[in-house]
């Protein structure tokens, strides 16, 4: 199964070379699609130096946010599976293998990497992890799911599914949006433990507490939207009969 890795980049010159090398060293068949979202540091120069046929670099201006960058990169994805990869060093691309295994076995069409388990570093960034647990709890309460780590970066999707979703958020609201829409359409999300090494705001962490409030609002709003609005017109959702089940369920 070919994996399309979508990497949004905004001012990540300090880690960009290393994370690209780590992604390309992952033992899977992959392509890396990098969207430079208006970087003003040395990131554009570093991206021009990349010489690997598996890498495609797309640039946009001005900076519009993570969700926008992921959506633009998704337009170029050709793999059967899609995963989101931040341009820092918090996540280990070697974990792609574990997430892909769930998809390849047909156990789920959506797989998340769970950072909240024994063995991962927590103390240096406890506030963010507690906020993540709050968002996960709220997600499970609204949608009857069992997600352990909703805000995780590592979100792996069946490519046909994520390309069918009517995604609109431009910034960090993309994460709860894509989660809520998948769950609202009846897809289960499976958690897989992954490695995680958090960085601080001083090191470049961009998400703020206000993004957590926005995430909760996004989850609540989508919970009561008509399912018909959650997918693109004419989209074919994998594993769902649009002529019967989907039309019946969109009458609410």
**Model pLDDT for residues 82-107, shown as the tens digit of each residue:** 999 999 999 999 999 999 999 999 99
- DSSP letters, 20-66, are HHHHHTSSS-EEEEEEEES--SSHHHHHHT---TTEEEEEESS---H
pLDDT digits (tens, 9 = 90+) for 3-36: 999 999 999 999 999 999 999 999 999 999 999 9
Q: Report d(CA 206, CA 189) in Å as an integer.
A: 26
More reliable by pLDDT, 244 or 168: 168
Q: Report d(CA 102, CA 212) in Å as an integer.
A: 28
Residue range 224-229: mean pLDDT, rounded: 92
Residue range 112-132: mean pLDDT, rounded: 68
Residue range 122-137: mean pLDDT, rounded: 68
Name the domain count of the chain: 1
Please determine, for residue 48, whether its predicted confidence score (pLDDT) is greater than 70: yes
Q: Are strands 189-193 and 110-114 parallel, antiparallel or unpaired?
A: parallel
**CATH number of the domain where residue 164 is located:** 3.90.550.10
Q: Model-level pTM?
A: 0.89
Burial class of residue 200 (count of CB atoms within 10 Å of its CB; 0-12, 13-18, 19+): exposed
pLDDT digits (tens, 9 = 90+) for 51-70: 999 999 999 999 999 999 99
Using a pLDDT cut of 90, give the percent of the chain over it. Answer: 74
Please determine, for residue 78, whether its predicted confidence score (pLDDT) is greater than 70: yes
Identify the band that residue 246 occupies on the pLDDT scale cut at 50, 70 and 90.
very low
Q: Output the pLDDT for position 204.
A: 47
**Residue 115's domain spans which residues?**
3-249
Q: Output the pLDDT for position 189.
A: 97
């Amino acid at each position: 199964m070919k994996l399309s890795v979508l990497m949004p980049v905004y001012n990540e010159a300090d880690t960009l070379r290393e994370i690209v090398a780590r992604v390309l060293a992952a033992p899977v068949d992959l392509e890396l699609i990098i969207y430079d979202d208006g970087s003003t540091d040395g990131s554009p120069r570093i991206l021009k130096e990349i010489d690997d046929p598996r890498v495609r670099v797309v640039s946009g201006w001005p900076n519009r946010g993570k969700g926008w960058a992921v959506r633009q990169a998704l337009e170029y994805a050709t793999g059967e599976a899609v995963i989101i990869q931040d341009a820092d060093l918090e996540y280990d691309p070697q974990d792609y293998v574990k997430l892909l295994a769930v998809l390849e076995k047909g156990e789920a069409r959506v797989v998340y990497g769970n950072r909240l388990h024994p063995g991962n570093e927590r103390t240096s960034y406890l506030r963010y992890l507690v906020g993540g647990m709050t968002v996960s709890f709220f997600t499970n309460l609204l949608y009857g799911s069992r997600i352990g780590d909703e805000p995780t970066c590592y979100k792996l999707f069946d490519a046909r599914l994520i390309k069918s979703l009517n995604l609109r958020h431009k910034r960090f609201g993309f994460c709860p949006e894509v989660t809520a829409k998948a769950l609202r359409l009846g897809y289960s999300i499976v958690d897989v433990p992954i490695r995680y090494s958090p960085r601080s705001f001083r090191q470049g962490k961009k998400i703020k507490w206000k993004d957590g409030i926005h995430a909760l609002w996004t989850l609540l709003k989508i919970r009561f939207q008509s399912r018909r609005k959650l997918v693109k017109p004419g989209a074919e959702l994998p594993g769902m009969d649009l002529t019967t089940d989907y039309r019946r369920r969109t009458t609410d």
